[in-house]
Amino acid sequence: MNANEVNVSVVTQEQEDAKAALEAFRQKLPYLINLTIEDRRSMPKIGDKERLAFVRRALDVAEQHPDVLPGFLSVNQMRSDVQQFEFLSSIELAVTQLLQQIEDTRMQIGSQALTAARTVYASAKSKYAGPAVKTAADELSKHFERKPKAAAPETSGAEAQSTVPIASTHGT
């Protein structure tokens, strides 16, 4: 027995409760958004602890010297953004850890199911299985058939040689 083996019975109510809890969690954060790839590329990001320290220090300066700031900058909004960033960072860590556990458990349970399925297949195709099981074994065997690879187009020796000169990267 694998030390990581997971033995759990399917309880539909528990599954529904877990999904409902996730939805309730999502509803607690109604301001969450989805960025496009271009949005992600183009926006400035805090990223590391040094930039977060910079942002915190800039907030301190803004709170101490609001008279030198442009009129469009709201110190209250900046403070709120910093606090919310830190809050979401802590949630992200917890959710990332939970996601890793979900992925690991899903992988383990999938492995257990596949191992059991292979045992069923091996038993069904054994010489001790009766004719009724032979049909099932034939059906299961289809999942192990390899699909033929597409043949690569053949090229003659002359076509295979490049006629484009390769530039040297070394100075001459």
pLDDT tens for 134-167 read 777 777 777 777 777 776 666 555 555 545 555 5
The pair of structure tokens assigned to 118 is: 């292979």
Q: Is the pLDDT of residue 69 over 80?
A: yes
Using CA atoms, how far residue 7 sits from 100, 113, 149, in Å, is 19, 11, 39
Per cent of the chain over pLDDT 70 is: 85
Banded model confidence at residue 71, pLDDT cuts 50, 70, 90: very high
pTM, two decimals, is 0.65
CA–CA separation, 148 and 150 (whole Å)? 6
Residue 125 confidence (pLDDT): 78
- Residue 115 CA to residue 107 CA, distance in Å, equals 12
